[in-house]
Every structure is written in C-alpha cells, then in structure tokens.
C-alpha cells in the first residue's frame, strides 16, 4: 500500500507539473511544484497550514472550474415584512430587484427571480461564502428596510428515502393500552415511533448520529397486501426523512441499505416530482394540465372517479383504490398492480 501511494503521488505530481507549465502567470514557481503531494490537488489550500514561502506554490495547485462544472446554487431569499406584505406588487418587487443588482454588482450571482405569488425575491450564488458576503452587503444597505424587505437564507428540504417490503410484523409489539380504538392518529404516531426504534436497533452508525441530534423521522407509511405461495401477508412501504449525514451513511458505509429485524432492506431516494391533481399524471401541475384546459373532468387520486380527490367518498376504502398512473403505464406489471394502491 505504501508503494502504491508513492506511485500515485509521482503520477499526480507529473500532472500538477504539466498543469503548472501551461500557466504563464505562475512560471516562476515551476521548481517548487514537484514538492507538493497529489492530495493538494483536491484540498482547499485555505484550510491547510502553510508558510509564507508556500503561498505562491499553493496558488499553482488550484484547479480552475471548467465550463462543464455544474453549480448547485445557494439561495438568499428576500421577504416582505408582515405590515407591507399586502401592498407588495410587481412594481415594488422590481424596485427591490434593481436595488439588489446595484448592491451586488461586484458579486458572483447565478440568478435573481421574483415570485409574484409569494412576493419573494430569490438570489442564487455559486457557494455559501459568496452568499454570506452578499447577505452582509444587502443588510448593510438600509434601502432594503425602507422597502419593507428583509433577507434570510433559503430553507433546504432534508433528504427523504423509501424502504420497500418491510414486514408488518415489526409493529406487532406496539402497546396500544389506553389508546382509543378510533384514535387513528395516535396509533399512526406509535407505529412511526416503533419503526424508528427498529431502525436504530440494528444500525449503530445511524443510532450514533440520531443520539447526537440528527433527523430520522417516518413521514410516510403505507400497508401493501401481497400474496405468495397461496398465503396473504402485509408489507410496509416506509418513507423516512433523514439528515444529510445519515443519508451519507446509508448510501456510503451501508451501501444503500438498512437493517430491520433479521432482514436487510434496500433503500431508494425519494425525489420531488411535479404532480397534477387534475389528471393524476406527473411532470406538470393542474395549472398546466392540457385536460383541464380542454374542460375535461378531474380524475380522483383515490378511486379514479370523475370528481375532485378532496370530495372522494372512498378515501379510506382501500379495497376500491386505483392508481391512475399505474393503469396508464405501458408496463404490464404496473397495470396489474394498479388496484393495490392509490395514486
């Protein structure tokens, strides 16, 4: 392993040297590049201690972003105060936008967008450091206060993952003593808590993070009836909200799985997707739905009836639920399972 490290260092040293020789601004430091280890190509030099003599060398090791580098923006949101919110219109938001553009003329800005519905102005930056500096500039300028706006960092949604095919037997030991039979919400809360405890029981890395305050909560729980070898049994589909660190553990150290009971369960990411509540298809919203614009009746997400989902009389009648998306799927297996769940 030591010899492998030496070979890798030599190869990356040559790469660093070749990069350096093509940079006319740092030509005077060519004799120093070979002394740098390959790891410096990937580390932020600002986080590593260095002497004054190393400063020019560290600059040569910074690999510039290419045109193909993807940037995930960090957002700063400008919100109207409660006392002026009702009077905000597009004209006023335009003034806020012009003020921001003037204040941040020397900052790297990815985007500036005005939302007429929420009355927010969202500003995207390439990273947290630029966002924080921009926030300081905006807050220093009192002109924003005079327009009734204040700034805050955009809230980020925590990652969500899904576990499929979990045996419902993990819920058989829940103590329902003292819980009213018709108190569905209380039973649901006890079931979600039990699932979290079962996950912590067999996943020590996740438990350690959970004990240190990281998020692990069940946000979705669905019972699915299955038949195998002539026997009926019930499985759980579980949606879990986790902290980024727990997400990293699941898909890193645990290779995309968690252990519950005596089984290993694969985990999938849950992604946000636009859903149309008029036709129940994905990829667009009801305001963009072609069927709605043509005057077609809505399709219920529970029973596929010609009525709005909010008025469906079959919400709790799982035996009559039908998934409109699966029924419309070109894959035969999806269509066959359409009557086992709702959209």
Per-residue pLDDT tens over the stretch 25-37? 444 444 444 444 4
- pLDDT higher than threshold 50 for residue 52: no
Alpha-carbon gap, residue 343 to 336, rounded angstroms: 14
Mean pLDDT rounded to a whole number for the chain: 79
Q: Which of 49-53, 166-170, 251-255 has the lowest mean pLDDT?
A: 49-53
Give the model's confidence band at 15: pLDDT under 50 very low, under 70 low, under 90 confident, else very high. confident
> Which tokens in the block code for residue 203?
């996943």
Q: Which residue has the higher pLDDT, 32 or 228?
A: 228
DSSP state, 312?
-
d(CA 204, CA 208): 6
pLDDT of residue 35: 42
What span, in angstroms and rounded, lies between the C-alpha atoms of 5 and 107? 40
Alpha helices in the chain (DSSP H): 2-21, 30-33, 55-60, 90-103, 128-140, 143-146, 184-202, 204-211, 244-251, 290-293, 324-327, 332-336
pLDDT tens-digit series, residues 86-132: 777 778 888 888 888 888 888 888 888 888 777 888 888 888 888 88
Which tens digit of pLDDT belongs to each residue from 137-179?
A: 888 877 777 777 888 887 778 899 999 889 888 888 888 777 7
Share of the chain above pLDDT 70, in %: 83
> In this predicted structure, what is the pLDDT of residue 209?
93
Q: What is the pLDDT of residue 19?
A: 63
The better pLDDT of the pair 62, 294 is held by 294
pLDDT band at 242 (very low <50, low <70, confident <90, very high): very high
**Structure confidence at residue 179 (pLDDT):** 73
In the block, residue with structure tokens 């089984």: 263
Query: For 207-219, what is the mean pLDDT?
Result: 93
The percentage of the chain sitting over the pLDDT mark of 90, rounded to a whole number, equals: 27
Q: Is the pLDDT of residue 81 over 90?
A: no
Q: State residue 20's pLDDT score.
A: 54
Query: Residue 256 has what pLDDT?
Result: 93
Q: What is the pLDDT of residue 265?
A: 93
Averaged over 323-329, what is the pLDDT? Answer: 89
pLDDT-derived band at 53 (thresholds 50, 70, 90) equals very low
Average pLDDT over residues 278-285: 89
């Amino acid at each position: 392993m030591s010899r492998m490290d030496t070979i890798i260092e030599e190869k990356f040293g040559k790469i660093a040297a070749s990069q350096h020789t093509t940079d006319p601004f740092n030509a005077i430091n060519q004799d120093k590049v070979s002394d740098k280890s390959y790891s410096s190509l990937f580390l932020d030099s600002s986080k590593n201690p260095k002497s004054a003599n190393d400063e020019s060398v560290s600059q040569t090791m910074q690999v510039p972003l290419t045109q193909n580098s993807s940037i995930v923006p960090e957002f700063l949101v400008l919100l109207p105060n409660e006392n002026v919110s009702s009077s905000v219109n597009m004209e006023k938001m335009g003034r806020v936008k012009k003020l921001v553009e003037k204040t941040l003329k020397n900052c790297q800005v990815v985007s500036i967008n005005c939302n007429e519905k929420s009355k927010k102005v969202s500003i995207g930056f390439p990273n947290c450091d630029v966002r924080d500096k921009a926030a300081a500039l905006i807050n220093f300028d009192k002109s924003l206060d005079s327009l009734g706006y204040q700034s805050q960092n955009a809230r980020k949604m925590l990652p969500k993952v899904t576990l499929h095919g979990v045996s419902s037997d993990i819920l058989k030991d829940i103590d329902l003593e003292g819980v009213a039979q018709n108190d569905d919400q209380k039973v649901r809360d006890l079931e979600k808590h039990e699932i979290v405890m079962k996950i912590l029981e067999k996943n020590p890395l996740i438990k350690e993070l959970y004990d240190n305050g990281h998020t692990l909560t069940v946000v979705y729980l669905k019972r699915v009836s299955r038949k195998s070898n002539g026997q009926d049994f019930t499985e759980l589909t579980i949606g879990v909200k986790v902290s980024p660190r727990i997400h990293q553990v699941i898909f890193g150290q645990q290779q995309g799985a968690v252990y519950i009971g005596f089984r290993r369960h694969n985990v999938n990411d849950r992604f946000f997707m636009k859903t149309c509540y008029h036709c129940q298809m994905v990829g667009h919203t009801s305001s963009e739905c072609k069927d709605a614009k043509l005057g077609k009746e809505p399709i219920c997400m529970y029973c596929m009836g010609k009525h709005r989902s909010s008025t469906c009389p079959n919400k709790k009648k799982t035996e009559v639920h039908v998934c409109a998306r699966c029924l419309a799927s070109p894959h035969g297996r999806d269509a066959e399972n359409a009557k086992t769940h709702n959209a």
